[in-house]
Structure 1
């Protein structure tokens, strides 16, 4: 069946490997399961047929506009009879938002789809998430759409997620369930989607270290003045606390709050730390903690750097 066919795209989802081939305006899907015997809930038209490796063929019936491709195992099979309009519409279903930050704030997640029919379609998109993401809060799980022929649609701010501090960084697995209505009838498209959950991009750096003029040159206590900068390289507004302490002295931490830091902005903080030049601390600790998130950073100023400041 694949003689003369051209490979178009890999479309693997949900543990099922799928390779699309095009032949004489016909779409053929080579597919097999990587996790034992399984099925794939997907609708690609009314006339789907499955061909196994030895030439056996069977119909894949649909019920109320839904088809389950059943009996998949490690042996490759070919599915034919695919409606190209449905396949292209299914392939276009995606997360427009590529990632969210692992911060305990509400963040919009945008879903997009294109209409590859020659008529208007309308219906609903529903997002489902793995049960293990039980801490992931979501506001609204469905959105309605109406798309003209050849047009595209995105959900805008309809879907909003709020990560928990307990959620793991990495991929968020979701499933988009799209109910489409046309004058030919109704059908459902299912597609596995992935969203990246990344750490917030906050950074801490020391911009200046100086010795404050004072009586320390006569043997009295002195001050080290440390200036730091916090930068927000992420896409969301952030808040943070910056801390400083002498590591082997009294463990009294000094804290500067940065209650609002917009994307692309930088904020400065200054610490005045009492230091005895005759008994220099082993090092000074500076720390960053993001509020409503999990971003941390530590910087240490060692004894040699402290000595150099006093000797300038």
Structure 2
């Protein structure tokens, strides 16, 4: 499977705030630069003249970048956090591990260990919450009534530094991931994505199965699924690989305090940003015509071109 968007957003506010994460951009600090104990505005925000909301971009001491949006007229406050790790970083032995971890993070934290407590809190406070796993990142988001924002941030931020990842709930979430795969795997768009992966470079992670199911998410020889889960979380869930966006009716100053209070606890493990040095296609995979008989009634011609990695130009399209 190529497209790994496992969930659709449940709220227009959450969708907007998750998209705003990309506006934070990447910053480079001199190794000798002294970092202030207070969050600092790091970027100039360019916005539409028709937008009267107030913006600020800050970097916490742990290198977590956060975009703040103050809108006194909104009725719900939201936050989204993206981790720059996804299905591409999974070990071959455990296809779908990033997706499985996304599920397991909701199974309680040290401060809020009750399973189901997070979802119940969000529902009781008029909110929505969701997450999805992509090839190169994993995104989490929540929106609640304004008055519940502080506590929502307390619960939400714990996913990223004190998740219990209790093996007791492994089978429950393995089955949840398997259920998603069973439901969506007969769809043409899923099959075509899998087919694309199969016709590209087998040495590239695009060729791996990354939805996850009961077959791929189990102990493999002397390698334990639980060990792989903990290793993945402990290595990649580092503040320097994260970006967040917050929107609230609060002032920018108040939001800075909330950001520092709740997100400064995430450790910076100085994990290098994942890179892939294997070409997605070699000469053997190019100049091919693939015929596919669809499950549904569809007639489609799709042309695919391999281009050089231009991710560094993302901010300017």
- Normalized against structure 2, the TM-score is what? 0.22
Structure number having the greater strand percentage: 1
Name which one, 1 or 2, has greater alpha-carbon Rg.
1
| TM value normalised by structure 1 | 0.22
Higher helix residue share: 2
Higher RCO (CA 8 Å, separation ≥ 6 residues)? 2
